[in-house]
Structure 1
Amino acid sequence: MCLGIPGRIVDMVDPAAYLAKVDVNGIRRTISVRLLAGQDVAAGDWVLVHVGFAMAKIDEREAELTIEAMRRMGQAYDDELAAFDSTAISLEQR
């Protein structure tokens, strides 16, 4: 199962390449925010992350509600966090 999971942007790693570091439940990964170009995405913003891409900018309340609902999913949420933890975008691959 692949879910979109809320993450908070902690750093714009390479704004020109649309790369940001996000924190998802304590796991930090570099993701692409290219799909949100023109939406003024910045550190502190919440985004919905799916397969290494920020799919949507969301507000903090929506992020909290989504995280709470996902935690109730149990193993599916744990599996999604494990998948997120095992992937990353390498800056060298650009």
Structure 2
Amino acid sequence: TTEYLAAALLDQAWHQLAPNQIPQDVLAFEAEALKKAGVDFALVPPRYRSTYFSHTFSGGYSAGYYGYLWAEKLDADTVEWFKANGGLTRKNGD
């Protein structure tokens, strides 16, 4: 989850830049963005570096990578609801 969070925050950081703010040093930008967001953990280096993280700039995700985190939250809430309301029953399915 920390990986998804870091990737989503980096995605957002890139999409908040104006065209005249594009950095020359991509790795420095990544480091600063992750530090600013408080997720610059040495033990969890980003798996998705900007130079090959295609979700950031192609495929229609444009600043939407956080959707994976949102899906995990919705999944967890749904599981808890079923647990609190009798599990998988026909009534709950309807």
**Structure number with higher strand proportion:** 1
Taking structure 2 as the reference length, the TM-score comes to 0.29
Larger proportion of helix: 2
Structure with higher RCO (Cα < 8 A, 6+ apart): 2
Structure with larger Rg? 2
The two structures have a TM-score, normalised by structure 1, of 0.29
